[in-house]
């Protein structure tokens, strides 16, 4: 989109057909395709582990992919997994999440990897996401980033034979080989 064209807003975004998978980033619609099955398997495994942990402890809410997160009038994203603590439940509406979740998880796929590592990383930091996981199914790693001074700082990179410990979800630990089961 050239500088001379009008940037889209949340109102424009809401007019896109439901079956079109897209995000609004910097006022531009960004389309994405359904990820491969292995991506979905990793997503399912992570969603189950995080979801059970949060539910058993009544910590807040966990939502899967295709949940709109409205960060600003020109930025609406759909993380693979997001967590909003009970303390911040005021950002939850019946339609979407209005503000930065406490934890965001993005699982890299060929179509989204660059955007997840750059544009979305910057957006999440700018809007106050406290913890961001970048999951690389091919490398079988999860990079955990924590909010620093208006940017993320790497807390750790966890591999297949390691356990990930989340600073935001106090007491949460997962063994990554359980997440990255055989392809």
The pLDDT score that the predictor gives to residue 35 is: 86
Does 7 map to a domain? no
Domains of the chain: total = 1
User: pTM above 0.85?
Assistant: yes
**Bridge partner list, 92:** 97
pLDDT tens profile 100-146 = 999 999 999 988 999 999 999 999 999 999 999 999 999 999 999 99
CATH number at residue 88: 3.90.1570.10
């Amino acid at each position: 989109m050239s500088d001379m064209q009008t940037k889209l807003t949340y109102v424009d975004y809401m007019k896109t057909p439901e079956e079109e998978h897209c995000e609004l980033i910097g006022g531009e619609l960004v389309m994405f395709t359904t990820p491969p099955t292995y991506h979905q398997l990793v997503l399912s495994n992570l969603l189950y582990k995080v979801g059970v942990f949060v539910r058993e402890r009544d910590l807040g809410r966990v939502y899967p992919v295709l949940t709109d997160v409205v960060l600003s009038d020109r930025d609406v994203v759909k993380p693979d997994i997001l967590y909003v603590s009970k303390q911040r439940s005021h950002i939850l509406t019946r339609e979407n999440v209005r503000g930065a979740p406490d934890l965001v998880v993005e699982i890299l796929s060929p179509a989204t990897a660059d955007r997840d590592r750059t544009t979305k990383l910057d957006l999440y930091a700018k809007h106050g996401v406290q913890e961001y996981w970048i999951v690389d199914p091919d490398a079988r790693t999860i990079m955990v980033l924590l909010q620093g001074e208006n940017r993320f700082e790497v807390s750790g990179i966890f591999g297949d034979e390691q356990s990930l410990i989340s600073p935001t979800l106090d007491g949460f630990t997962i063994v990554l080989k359980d997440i990255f089961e055989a392809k």
